[in-house]
Amino acid sequence: MVTGGDRRALGVAVSGPSFATSGAWREGNTLTFDGARLFSDGAPGRVSMDGAATGTVSLAQGDQVISRIDYTRCGLWEADSCRLTADLPADPATYTLSTTAGRQVPHSTLSTKVESTWTFRSASTAKREALPLTAIRYAPKGLDEYNRARPGSSTRLPIWIERNPGAPPAAVKSLHLQMSVEGSR
């Protein structure tokens, strides 16, 4: 993307969920999750979507699924199609929000599948309050414009935690990262 003298690369590795903007909240007894953030590129401060991605978003309490949507047509002009809402009981409870989305498109052969699961407590609120969700973000350094590392080079992998804006602070207990290279060969 070029704007005047400013040049910005879009679609930089690695795509995944982002909370650069508010993405999940509870207002009264209604919970909302904006799924239009699952394919955000690796640049800090960005939230992105891919209208070609398909999958599911679900909210459960224990083993009972409370709400589920099909994640389809989540493009710029159809962002409401990937928004999950659920009416919940007022009492405090533990919930699990799960997302799975995949894409097989020529414009992005990287980050073809994104899966995320968040477990959190929530109760009725007097006003809109951010849910305590985080995204693990990472952006490999030293890649070329096609997101490739130079043969024989080392690639630094800065990792940071992005908290849903307005959510209360929470300690990170563990971090687990999986990756594949060369098509898992």
> Does position 59 have pLDDT exceeding 90, yes or no?
yes
Predicted confidence (pLDDT) at residue 31 exceeds the cutoff of 90: yes
Q: Mean pLDDT check: name the lowest of 30-34, 78-82, 146-150, 172-176.
A: 78-82
pLDDT of res. 25: 97
Paired tokens of 129: 């309050």
pLDDT band, residue 8 (cuts 50/70/90): low
> Token pair of 33, please?
């999750």
Q: Are strands 6-7 and 2-3 parallel, antiparallel or unpaired?
A: antiparallel
pLDDT at 184: 46
- Name the residue type at position 43: A
Q: For residue 185, how far is the Cα from the chain centroid?
A: 27
Number of domains in the chain: 1
What confidence score (pLDDT) does residue 11 get?
67
- Whether omega for the bond prior to residue 172 falls within 30 degrees of 0, making it cis, is no
Q: Classify residue 142 by its DSSP letter.
A: S
pLDDT tens track for 99-156 = 998 888 777 777 788 899 999 999 999 999 999 999 988 888 888 877 888 888 888 8
| Rounded-to-integer distance, Cα 100 and Cα 117, Å | 9
Tell me the β-bridge partners of 60: 65, 96
Distances (CA, A) of 115 to 3, 7, 17, 55, 100: 33, 31, 9, 10, 4
| Averaged confidence pLDDT in the chain | 85
| Confidence band, pLDDT 50/70/90 cuts, at residue 72 | confident
Q: Which residues contact 93 (CB under 8 A, 6 or more apart)?
A: 61, 121, 122, 123
Those residues whose C-beta lies under 8 Å from the C-beta of residue 7, and which sit 6 or more positions away, are 1
SS3 category, 36: coil
Q: What is the pLDDT of residue 61?
A: 97
Structural domain range at position 60: 2-184
pLDDT of residue 154: 85
What local confidence, expressed as pLDDT, does residue 180 receive?
66
